[in-house]
Amino acid sequence: MLRELNPLLHSELRLAVMSILIGVESADFVFLRKQTGATAGNLSVQIDKLQRAGYIEVEKSFRGKMPCTVCRMTDTGREAFAEYVDALKSYIG
Amino acid sequence: MLRELNPLLHSELRLAVMSILIGVESADFVFLRKQTGATAGNLSVQIDKLQRAGYIEVEKSFRGKMPCTVCRMTDTGREAFAEYVDALKSYIG
DNA sequence: ATATTTGGTTTATTTTATAAACTATTTTAT
DNA sequence: ATAAAATAGTTTATAAAATAAACCAAATAT
């Protein structure tokens, strides 16, 4: 039977961010932007949604006077991602 | 590297329809509705999109005077699905 | 007869994704 | 030194998508 797909993860850019973060200890905004090819605005919005869901932690600091945003996945995020992948498999075998 | 996800297939309901159709010779509207749990309106719209993309063939006939809509996947659809699954793997390993 | 269900489609509404515009700082070029 | 462009974002507006609500015609049940 087909399982439900977590709509927060079933989004290309958010999924991309999660799939990057699951493989590293942390990644900053610039790195995520380059890897995903997303616009800054879009990335900013999607990072926010992932954070509000508790799937990632976001640490905003300054390097000198330039802002620096570092993201890392939470345990909740890891769980949600695993479940999403599992659910996907009911569609793609 | 992360591949692009065909937006026509990266939709829960359309993906569900495709994943059902890939396993059967054909399926009618009522069957798809029961399997997916979708509302008739939503299903109607999404079937239309898949058809217009050439991913499925839709045959509208009457059984007595009641309409009967039968769907089957096309080769184009099978290809697109395979490529989508492949692309997905760049995200979920 | 009339109310309900079936098998849909069409249209309207809500949600989501994306892009465009903006802020602040920093670098680069003139 | 100053203007222009680039960096690192956020906020707001717009386009696109998903979904639901309203509808139609036929069939069935009350």
Identity of the residue in B4, B35, B88 whose CB atom sits nearest the CB atom of A92: B88
| Count of other CB atoms within 10 angstroms of residue A42 | 12
Domain locations along chain A = 12-92
B73, B22 contact by CB (below 8 A): yes
- Determine the protein residue whose CA lies at the shortest distance from the C1' of C17: A42
pLDDT digits (tens, 9 = 90+) for B5-32: 999 999 999 999 999 999 999 999 999 9
CATH assignment of A12-92, given 3.60.10.10, 3.40.50.1100, 1.10.10.10, 2.170.8.10?
A: 1.10.10.10
Fold topology of B12-87: Arc Repressor Mutant, subunit A (1.10.10)
pTM across the whole model: 0.95
- Determine the protein residue whose CA lies at the shortest distance from the C1' of C21: A41
Q: Check pLDDT > 90 for residue B36.
A: yes
pLDDT digits (tens, 9 = 90+) for A34-68: 999 999 999 999 999 999 999 999 999 999 999 99
Contacts of A90 (CB under 8 A, 6+ apart): A1, A2, A3, B19
CA atoms of A74 and A55, how far apart (whole Å): 6
pLDDT at B93: 86
Identity of the residue in A10, A12, A16 whose CB atom sits nearest the CB atom of B12: A10
pLDDT at A1: 87
B21, A19 contact by CB (below 8 A): no
CB contact under 8 A, A4 and B12: yes
